[in-house]
A and B are shown apart, each in its own frame.
Chain A
Amino acid sequence: MGENSINETFQSAIDEYSDMVTRICIVSLGNMIDAQEAYLNCFESLYMQLKKKPPDDTGKWLAKVAYNECKSMLRFKLKHKFVSIDDITMPFDTAQESELIQIVFSLPEKYRNVLHLYVNVGYSTREIAEITGQKESTVRSQLKRARERLKKELEKGG
């Protein structure tokens, strides 16, 4: 793959997958500052990978890298500046929407991750298992619990 071709593929990947990577990072990390760092690291990794060998499925590859990047950042978040969820720049106009996103973020990180990948990105439990490196049964279990929790929180919030 030539340099020009790599560049073209890389730029198209930014256009196509930026939002997906951004959302995984935000859902995992809960703040925009860390999410930005993770997002850039993901695309840097993609660029390096493209120079070696383009991934078979760029979307899934990026999802996996994003998941791992966020996991790694969470592990060492003591080393990072902590930013409260309240500090996230909320792109929402209504209080109801803001409240809803707070409820989503109140889920434990592992639950909201799999829920996001399943509901929003549309991956199957098998694919999520590949991305997260967990067993499929674990993913299913996490999905079940995430749903229950979310439902409970939403009911609580009326």
Chain B
Amino acid sequence: MKKMNIVNAYTTPDEWKERARKIPAGRTGTAAVKSLSPIKAAAVAAIAIGIGAGGFLILHTSNDEMIPPYEPAPTQVSDPDARKELTIKQKISAYYPKSNDYAVTKLFDQYNNKNCCTKLTDMTGCPESFSDMLKGDLGRIKAGELNEISAECDGYILSDKKISLLIRLDNTGTSVDTKDIARMFSTYVSVVDSQTGTQVEKQVEVTSYEGFMAQFLRVDITLGKELMMRFNELTVDTHILLTDKGLDTVITDDEAGQYSGRYHYDIRIRQAYADKSEKNDSYDTVSAYLSNRSALYPIDQNAAYQLTGCYYSGGAARYITRTPEFHIPDDSDLTDKAVLRQAENNSQKSYVKSVDIDCDGIITDGVNMYALFRETSVSLGMVENLNSDLIIKAYLKDTGEEISLLGTPETFEVSTEGLSRMIIRLRPDNILSGRTVQLHIISGSGDYGEQSYHYMFEISIPETSAAEEKSAQKIFASATEGTKLLSSSMGMMITGCDALISQKEEEARAAVSPALMYIEGEELSSGSYDLDGQYKGVVSDEALTTDRDVCRLYRVRSADGGTAGYYISYNSPDNNVYSIHFFDEDI
């Protein structure tokens, strides 16, 4: 690795040092403007224009008062005891909808009719994608490059008049830069009333934002009429088209026919399956599924619908959120829009009403968790400032153990438009099912202290219910006799794909089995995962080195509810995701 020493060839330019040495004489433009009155700020702006964009601006005001820095409050998140003192902004409980046998049966009918299967190739156990890989003559872009982009619908949100899709376009290779993805595609949406076959009037707004290895896309479809009140069934047909107009661009019906090659998502929402849940909690349930051109994929068999918005996710997500409850101290005169803030003198807690962060909801499969947050600001510019140096931490409430967030800078993503939404994805080492997660969002003042605005959200994730187990048994029982039907502990199913299973089995034996070590009944150790409470495994490469970041082990249940085998998905060092199924005889 001596080659890395090449970096040492970089030395600090003298000009930089000179500018740094002047720091005690005054602060930089950005920081100083924050403290100036509007008139002074305007004057400063005028001076800045006079100096020109290339010049480095050192500002001096007549009194040159320094902005009193926020006092750091380092114990707020680093000390478990200190965390107990914090006020909880919102408590969020996940909700597990009742299963709907009828919907499940219908899904399986469709499965069997199509003789298709879900593909268990994603690291989280979700179906690989709800998309087809682009094929055929794609013109400007090489097919090889397109093969390095996969699209996946992380889930969608229904509200009274709006459907929001969360899509990620992953860059799995090296020849396409992530930022290029945003330029390669555009978005097209049509909404059709399934009964009449007529297009429904809609307004589409698309926001894309760049992650480290992915472009995230949020498609907000607003309907003129209330979503579920006026239609028995809607098909929301969304295409990511290969154009060079940019992901944020919404293509019209007329233009759509001009482009070939696309990722395609259908969301079908049926009023016919609506059912009141047992609890009188205003939840209606509807059945929904996602499909693409070649195969049908199940979403939750029976997803809940909630006027204030909730999340659905492809395949794996089985919990959705209740309306968040606000918990504000009784002795406070605050409204639920207030935000806990550490006071500048660090001696007492105070609140500001200029910035607000709310949790819109979560998606969780009991292992991973996505949480969507929305920021609003009363005073202009505050949201941008807030986003400039957010610190996000997550802990398990019972043990205080910190949970890692999905890598940098995918830890959270902020839309470019209004900087008002972000998605935080946790990457836990252990299952979250049955645990309570405390998520802290802290805005530092720029010097990375844990200070300033401090939001804490408590998110309870229920255990997989007995009802779900029972439902799973029914699913197995309903399978066609003689067809291999397997389910991972993530709720994924494979059916009608004996050839694929055999192939995977062969691959498993050839590629993984010789180096596979299996440990049962031992404590978790580095390199092992325990996803279902009973099985632990380690995947090793040929050198018998392990990497706990890269593998997940799932138990595969057989039709009688026993263990048919195991399923591993893992990341290779070259960042490709592989999955291997292996069965009892492999162990």
Contact = CB atoms under 8 A, between A and B. Distances in A.
A72 B385 CA distance: 12
Contacts of B404: 134-135, 138
Contacts of A21: 12
Interface string B42-69: 0000000000000000000000000001
Given A76-B414, A119-B1, A150-B1, A40 B16 contact: yes
Contact of A22 (B11, B408, B573, B574): B11
Interface residues of B, number: 53
Nearest to B445: A48
B11 A100 contact: no
Interface string B185-220: 000000000000000000000000110110000000
A101 B6 contact: yes
Nearest to B182: A78
Given A10-B24, A65-B447, A75-B414, A144 B11 contact: no
For the complex of A and B, the 3 pairs showing the least CB-CB separation, nearest first, are A18-B12, A45-B447, A22-B12
Contacts of B174: 106
Contacts, number: 139
A68 B448 contact: yes
Interface string A74-101: 1111110010000000011000010011
A68 B411 CA distance: 13
Interface string B1-42: 111111111111100110111011001100100000000000
A72 B212 contact: no
A154 B3 contact: yes
A14 to B, nearest CB: 5
B407 interface: yes
Interface of B: 1-13, 16-17, 19-21, 23-24, 27-28, 31, 69, 71-72, 174, 179, 209-210, 212-213, 387-389, 404, 407-409, 412, 414, 416, 446-448, 526, 545, 547-550, 573-574
Nearest to A45: B447
B1 A147 contact: yes
Contacts of B550: 141
Contacts of A101: 6-7, 9
Task: From B21, B27, B72, name the one whose CB has the most chain A CB atoms within 10 angstroms.
Answer: B21
Nearest to A82: B179
A72 B386 CA distance: 12
A23 B7 contact: yes
Interface in A90-146: 91-92, 97, 100-101, 103-104, 106, 108-110, 115-116, 119-120, 134-135, 137-138, 141, 144-145
Contacts of B9: 91-92, 97, 101
A65 B448 contact: yes
A45 B121 CA distance: 45
A44 B4 contact: no
Given A91-B9, A120-B5, A145-B573, A49 B447 contact: yes
Contacts of B20: 14, 18, 39-40, 43
Nearest to B429: A135
Contacts of A141: 547-550
Contacts of A77: 210
A44 B9 CA distance: 25
Interface of A: 6-7, 10-11, 14, 18-19, 21-23, 26-27, 36, 39-41, 43-45, 47-49, 51-52, 64-65, 68, 71-72, 74-79, 82, 91-92, 97, 100-101, 103-104, 106, 108-110, 115-116, 119-120, 134-135, 137-138, 141, 144-145, 147-150, 152, 154
A7 B24 CA distance: 7
Nearest to B14: A18
A104 B7 contact: yes
B292 to A, nearest CB: 30
A64 B408 CA distance: 15
Given A39-B16, A72-B388, A137-B548, A119 B448 contact: no
Given A115-B4, A119-B1, A119-B5, A144 B547 contact: yes
Given A10-B24, A119-B5, A141-B548, A45 B446 contact: yes
Contacts of A104: 3-4, 6-7
A13 B556 CA distance: 58
10 contacts: A18-B12, A19-B12, A44-B23, A47-B24, A49-B447, A52-B71, A77-B210, A78-B210, A120-B4, A154-B3
Contact of A45 (B8, B24, B212, B448): B448
Contact of B1 (A97, A115, A137): A115
Contacts of B447: 45, 48-49, 65
A28 to B, nearest CB: 10
Contacts of A116: 4, 7
